[in-house]
Structure 1
């Protein structure tokens, strides 16, 4: 039995996420090595500072000539300048590597997401996908830009500073270790507790985004049915769940910091006591004790940063696992499936059920000959749009087969199917960019002459020429506004440019008024010349011009035949045609 959890988009394990990140970093591995070496140089330069200060203390205590202070002061100055210079170069290089890796990971995620069947995205939740490519990318970006460089620098500083303490006197290093149990305990508890908390927070954000997408995407229906309060309650509930999930993570962070500060207090006291003992018995100079104290105090910031960054690292790791879950999705490749030999559609016993188990189509059989135009009509909810989506490969049949040119749609693979079948739906999106950019989505190599020719076929060349910059006019978000008819004409022009032998049009004239519908019907008729077409017809004028009509009722084919013959009969189509004709008088 398929559960809701099974339908969600996958989340990678920590190991899988690390492999995805390593693959994203690999092209710039030399840059990563240089960055690490620069950060090591930064830490080494910083290690010179406490002994130099300790030497100044010893010289001041001895009361020697002031010239003896020159060498330690020069070393101190060079160390400070070197530390700042190496830190700036190292962090800049590491940030560059991180941004490049993130860009490659983001591209992989978007590529996989675009390659997923629409039904898989719908099952997983488009809000979850939006959350992943939005919020999760931002969190990983912040971590790679700031968190990870700081984490690496802090880790190097802690490790090499402990070595410096040991070089001064192993007993100083031993005293400093008094803080370690507190810090290790805090870190281990936090690492064990925080990942599920942050994973739950990311999941809650995804559910909140999904609810917002559903509410805003269906706003006209929500308003028409007065469902606003109900949807607001759902958004509020999802938002409250997300808030509580984040508060749980913050609450654990507070206890985490208490343990860190207790460790700092214990370690400082141990080093100071050890210094007093060693100076008192002559085992160490005052300058060495000063250097040891400075070394340990110097550990406060990197250790605090290191442990504090566990918070950001855990959050970013949860986001990275969500991104890697998408990046790991592989598109199944067809195994030796032949390309369609002829643009013929054949449906045998096609069934389809949505995730809730309700069957929408019940054993549909249909043959469409090469070059034939078949219109699918029926009342709302009959299964027309679902049938179109199945032929276009957006959904996968629950049973039965769909063939294009003798090859199964499911075996062809998405790329191969897209070369032979093109879907134009009633809800057309105009992408942000120029008109030319929008059209070249169908054929990137198309010339301006090709674009103009395609526009002319569908009757859109005139208004495109009238735009301020013609093909170079920006449309979509932030650009010139287009009418529903103009947007649909661009979609039909993309169909012409695509050159697919089979066209599936899902109520392509439904959003236009009467005058606009006539314009679109003319453009559609010219765009479909020479192509096999399956037309989901909302306006029966479209069906009247088809070669055959298929009438669907409750997911079953109840009538098939030429439109004129069916209109003259006494079957379901005749009833629909009579009602349609009466509404136009």
Structure 2
């Protein structure tokens, strides 16, 4: 196998996709809990289809009455029956489709909750190997496609399928030769469906994968636009975005070509079927076997099949796309839970210790090597270093987000693996530069950290980070809707909100990874003060965005090339005239003796 070209991104280890057997098993399990509603839905749709079958014979009866030159009053009864059938059929159709939609939507809701629960529990390392675009496209596009199918495609396919079956029964009731004539179209339709399904399954799976790859590349390019421009990588990233977009376009064109051939074949099947039914009717009427009205009813039955047959086959497009999305959703929902110890250990205190830490995101490319770290209970250590020195990686190892390649991290004498996910979440809280404002009221956003928090506790947390004044000044105070579709918060306010949630978690250990970086010069002092208040009384590891954050820290650890090169207090390191002193000199503009 040839090596990838220089500049080509490493292949992604995409999240798994479920096979057909597993999808059917999941759907069956979800359906069993809704058996009663599903049975009622099928009964309503069967009754709807049965009522619709009386329309063609009634119209045929009217044709016979006209051919017999019966008085006008003779058609009154059939016309009234047609009107009653239309009303009953409409009511049953609405009821049946509503019940089917209810079953589908509730099944999707359960599956979505399981998916989100597993997605939130995925180790960050696993998400990063797959690329955020893979998970994002499953959360957004795949869920949307499956939801559309549950609301529209599934109910319509169920109703159309019943209409087809009962219409064929109606043709046989008129005369079995009409049924045989109508079935002349079936071989073409079956072959068309098989031809379509053989090609569409893989094509729609490629479409979903291509969309995920495109989204990932856009996230990589747009999210790192400053770095891309600084390093002059604009042409390379433009080429990658173009290549991913070209893949999406080519797959989309393949879908269009497939659909064009599909509907062309269906039109041919319709021509064959109607010609056979009309031919059979002509022969049977000529021989006196059936009346003109009966032949008319048979023709109307077959023409009435055009709609449901085409609808079923047309909705195969939506169904196949939904099946591809469902496979990706179930694939994530089926991922095993992270391993948890049988008897989780609780830390003894909040001191942090790290021995011989080494970490590599890719084999042979160490980001950290031989890092030792000691943070006494209740003290604050600030990590300093140039970009790429390993500060964020060390912070994530301490928070238990990543598992070290070598060495170990202990909190209160216990490693994250020994604590297990639940204990670790109660022990360590982390705030990064990329904070999120959740859609909902400000109070609901804060209560994500502590659901049982009182209004006074929410206000105390906001007050601690200097956010109480602007929070109460919102149109509805803490009841104001924020996030998507609500009140827009500034970058400073969003980070104050994240720090307030940190206080409400009341975790004994906190990790701040440039958690005040987005403040800008105007809000820097406000957020730095908020961060100090949020970490007061806790053991804290802070990745510094501004060196002023290191001045009052209990200790400063300087990283360079993944190794610890200096440690001490701010004053000690400035006096030492080493790497930290050089960074401080560059930051403040002061001259430091070599």
TM-score strictly above 0.5: yes
Deviation at 1:529, TM superposition (A): 2.5
Match of 2:4 in 1: none
Q: Distance in 2 between matches of 1:437 and 1:97?
A: 30
Task: Summarize the Cα distance change of 1:362–1:162 in structure 2 as closer, same or farther, 3 Å threshold.
Answer: same
Q: Distance in 2 between matches of 1:26 and 1:508?
A: 47
Preserved CA contact (<8 Å) 1:374 1:533:
yes
Match of 1:553 in 2: 560
Deviation at 1:242, TM superposition (A): 0.7
Instruction: Give the secondary structure class of the aligned counterpart of 1:187.
Output: helix
Instruction: Give the secondary structure class of the aligned counterpart of 1:205.
Output: helix
Matching residue within 451, 454, 460 for 1:444: 451
Matching residue within 427, 430, 434 for 1:423: 430
Q: Which stretch of structure 1 is more off in the superposition, 343-352 or 428-437?
A: 428-437
Deviation at 1:338, TM superposition (A): 1.6
Instruction: Give the secondary structure class of the aligned counterpart of 1:354.
Output: strand
For residues 235-278 of structure 1, the C-alpha deviation after alignment (integer angstroms, 9 at most, x for no partner) is 33322211110111111121222222222222222222222333
Match of 1:537 in 2: 544
Preserved CA contact (<8 Å) 1:433 1:476:
yes
Match of 1:290 in 2: 296
Deviation at 1:471, TM superposition (A): 3.0
Preserved CA contact (<8 Å) 1:376 1:534:
yes
Task: Summarize the Cα distance change of 1:62–1:448 in structure 2 as closer, same or farther, 3 Å threshold.
Answer: same
Matched, 1:393 2:405: no
Preserved CA contact (<8 Å) 1:25 1:100:
no
For residues 279-304 of structure 1, the C-alpha deviation after alignment (integer angstroms, 9 at most, x for no partner) is 33343333332222222222122112
Matched, 1:216 2:227: no
Which blocks of at least 5 consecutive residues in structure 1 are unaligned? Answer: none
For residues 489-518 of structure 1, the C-alpha deviation after alignment (integer angstroms, 9 at most, x for no partner) is 333222221100111122334444567444
Match of 2:321 in 1: 315
Deviation at 1:321, TM superposition (A): 1.8
Preserved CA contact (<8 Å) 2:281 2:295:
yes
Matched, 1:109 2:89: no
Instruction: Give the secondary structure class of the aligned counterpart of 1:7.
Output: coil
1:24-39 alignment runs, 5 A limit: 24-39=30-45
Task: Summarize the Cα distance change of 1:245–1:577 in structure 2 as closer, same or farther, 3 Å threshold.
Answer: same
Matching residue within 236, 242, 246 for 1:240: 246
For residues 200-223 of structure 1, the C-alpha deviation after alignment (integer angstroms, 9 at most, x for no partner) is 111111122222222222233344
Q: Distance in 2 between matches of 1:453 and 1:174?
A: 79
Q: Distance in 2 between matches of 1:215 and 1:583?
A: 37
Task: Summarize the Cα distance change of 1:246–1:584 in structure 2 as closer, same or farther, 3 Å threshold.
Answer: farther
Matched, 1:180 2:186: yes
Instruction: Give the secondary structure class of the aligned counterpart of 2:152.
Output: helix
Task: Summarize the Cα distance change of 1:91–1:583 in structure 2 as closer, same or farther, 3 Å threshold.
Answer: farther
For residues 464-497 of structure 1, the C-alpha deviation after alignment (integer angstroms, 9 at most, x for no partner) is 4455544344544565555544443333222221
Q: Which stretch of structure 1 is more off in the superposition, 248-257 or 342-351?
A: 342-351
Match of 1:53 in 2: 59
Instruction: Give the secondary structure class of the aligned counterpart of 1:340.
Output: coil
Matched, 1:255 2:261: yes
Deviation at 1:45, TM superposition (A): 0.7
Q: Distance in 1 between matches of 2:165 and 2:233?
A: 60
Preserved CA contact (<8 Å) 2:436 2:494:
yes
Task: Summarize the Cα distance change of 1:80–1:475 in structure 2 as closer, same or farther, 3 Å threshold.
Answer: closer
Match of 2:340 in 1: 334
Match of 2:177 in 1: 171
Task: Summarize the Cα distance change of 1:356–1:438 in structure 2 as closer, same or farther, 3 Å threshold.
Answer: farther
Preserved CA contact (<8 Å) 1:211 1:234:
yes
Match of 1:325 in 2: 331
Task: Summarize the Cα distance change of 1:274–1:584 in structure 2 as closer, same or farther, 3 Å threshold.
Answer: farther
Match of 1:75 in 2: 81
TM-score scaled by length of structure 1: 0.91
Preserved CA contact (<8 Å) 1:503 1:528:
yes
Preserved CA contact (<8 Å) 2:214 2:248:
yes
Matching residue within 84, 88, 91 for 1:85: 91
Matching residue within 499, 515, 530 for 1:492: 499
Q: Distance in 1 between matches of 2:580 and 2:10?
A: 39
Preserved CA contact (<8 Å) 2:557 2:568:
yes
Task: Summarize the Cα distance change of 1:306–1:225 in structure 2 as closer, same or farther, 3 Å threshold.
Answer: same
Task: Summarize the Cα distance change of 1:284–1:415 in structure 2 as closer, same or farther, 3 Å threshold.
Answer: same
Q: Distance in 1 between matches of 2:306 and 2:446?
A: 59
Q: Distance in 1 between matches of 2:58 and 2:10?
A: 64
Q: Distance in 1 between matches of 2:160 and 2:26?
A: 24
Q: Distance in 2 between matches of 1:458 and 1:113?
A: 30
Q: Distance in 1 between matches of 2:486 and 2:200?
A: 45
Deviation at 1:185, TM superposition (A): 0.5
Matching residue within 144, 150, 153 for 1:147: 153
For residues 416-457 of structure 1, the C-alpha deviation after alignment (integer angstroms, 9 at most, x for no partner) is 312110112234334444443332222122112112222333
Matched, 1:504 2:511: yes
TM-score scaled by length of structure 2: 0.89
For residues 25-51 of structure 1, the C-alpha deviation after alignment (integer angstroms, 9 at most, x for no partner) is 555443332222211111101111222
Q: Distance in 2 between matches of 1:171 and 1:309?
A: 30
Deviation at 1:343, TM superposition (A): 1.5
Instruction: Give the secondary structure class of the aligned counterpart of 1:339.
Output: coil
Deviation at 1:412, TM superposition (A): 3.3
Instruction: Give the secondary structure class of the aligned counterpart of 1:332.
Output: coil
Q: Distance in 1 between matches of 2:91 and 2:387?
A: 69
Q: Which stretch of structure 1 is more off in the superposition, 225-234 or 45-54?
A: 225-234
Deviation at 1:194, TM superposition (A): 0.7
Preserved CA contact (<8 Å) 1:268 1:296:
yes
Q: Which stretch of structure 1 is more off in the superposition, 442-451 or 107-116?
A: 107-116
Instruction: Give the secondary structure class of the aligned counterpart of 1:361.
Output: strand
